[in-house]
Structure 1
Amino acid sequence: MIHPHLWTVMCLSTAVSAVTVVYPRIGGSETLTCQCPDHQCQRVYWYRILHGNDTPQFLVFCNSANYVNYGAGFNDTRFKAQAQEGSRIIYSLRITGLRKDEAGFYSCVLSSQKLSSPEDLLPPGYYIRPGEHPPTMPPPIKTTKPTKPQLCKSNHQPSKGCSTSVLWPGVGVLLALAMTLISTLYYYSRLPKKCRHNFAKRMQL
């Protein structure tokens, strides 16, 4: 049995731990690790909170001497806990035969005489999602650079898109000059010969 206050600590760990999401297949296995920051963690408590249920379930207790004690309804057939000692103590929990209804948050609580901060006693947990697939990243969006407008220069051959703006004003000017010249000649040709002579004489003066 776990002391009642430990259940509160377990629930708080879901908020302070950095969760790692894993996607094992249905019937597959997953190995979870819980590393002590130093060599003083002599015990670990593994637990889980299933998806859609806010009640923590105690899975197994393990100490540094590999003494194991399982919670009600759990055994070493599918849940195998052990400790590996070295420069640090690493506790592991291997779960086999994962089912769809076992999706949820899995983690551990360390017990140490020296460590007291939640960051040390509550290592990052795991969110197990059996039978699901990792989300795919959307394809990157390609951006095109805006094209600069082409400037039309009179001393160069007009580029594409500029020929129309250059040609039509020139045509208009030529037509206006032609109409003015035709009108002047027509008006001058209609004058009597004497008037044309006087008009030319005045123009010479």
Structure 2
Amino acid sequence: MTVSQVCMFLCLLAAASAENILYPSIGGSETLTCACPDHQCQRVFWYRFLQKDETLQFLLECNTVDKVNYGNNIDTQRFKASSNGGSGKFTLRITSLQQNDTGLYSCLLHSQNPKQGLESLTSPGYYIKPGEHRPTSPPPTVKPKVKNPPPCKPNIQPVKGCKPLVLWSCVGVLLVLAVLMISILTYFSRLPKKCRHQFAKKVQLN
């Protein structure tokens, strides 16, 4: 398997797990790091997957003594690699970033330790988006407080001077008096004239 084929496979792996998204300005610069887990890495391969035409591009190879081998058509002034052999950290400095540099950047480490797995020798990757703005999170939505409607007041207006209980008591008394008057009038209207005349005389004598 060639380095190009390995980089293609790792590019797809890194694209699925890219953790760092960078938003440099046009003409700006970025510094990418690639750390060796066991400090026994002798060299690093840097590559990128360009978004504009979806092509994989090998950038360069750098060893622990900072010897760099560049890929085809790579601007050696814009891409600078270095290493810190003691810490096992490799860096890639990219300057004068343009919009056509948008894509995924990652690395592949070469270790002398045969126990190192492929996952530990790859970087999660950096997704560089020159000229784009970092998305802002929308403001939290505040739900309006729902006010409970006031309880409806009964539409009963008491008569002035009497409360409802007193009013009903007065009405009851008036009804009783009315019934008594009707009963008395009905009684007298049914008496014979003679009896009514005698009753009137007794009233006059008294």
C-alpha contact (below 8 Å) 2:24/2:131 kept by paired residues: yes
Alignment of 1:118-133 (within 5 A): 118-133=118-133
1:138 paired to 2:141: no
TM-score, with structure 2 as normaliser: 0.73
Instruction: Provide the residue aligned with 1:188 in structure 2.
Output: 180
Q: Which amino acid aligns with 1:99?
A: Q
Deviations 1:28-85 (CA, angstroms, capped at 9, x unpaired): 1111111111211111111111114332101111011100011111133111111013
CA contact (8 A) 1:13 1:122 kept: no
Distance 1:105 1:194, change over 3 A: same
1:30 maps to 30
What TM-score, normalized to structure 1?
0.73
| Stretch deviating more after TM superposition (51-60 or 124-133) | 51-60
- Count of residue correspondences: 182
Aligned to 1:89: 88
Greater C-alpha radius of gyration: 2
Instruction: Decide which moves more: 42-51 or 181-190.
Output: 181-190
Residue 8 of structure 1 aligns to a residue whose secondary structure is helix
Structure 2: stretches of 5+ with no match in the other structure: 189-206
**SS of 1:188 mapped into structure 2:** helix
- Corresponding residue of 1:9: 9
8 Å Cα contact 1:16-1:119 kept in structure 2: no
What is the CA–CA distance in structure 2 between the aligned matches of 1:134 and 1:142, rounded to whole Å? 24
Separation in 2 of the partners of 1:91 and 1:140?
41
3-state SS of 1:107 partner:
strand
Give RMSD over aligned pairs.
3.2
Percent identity reads: 42
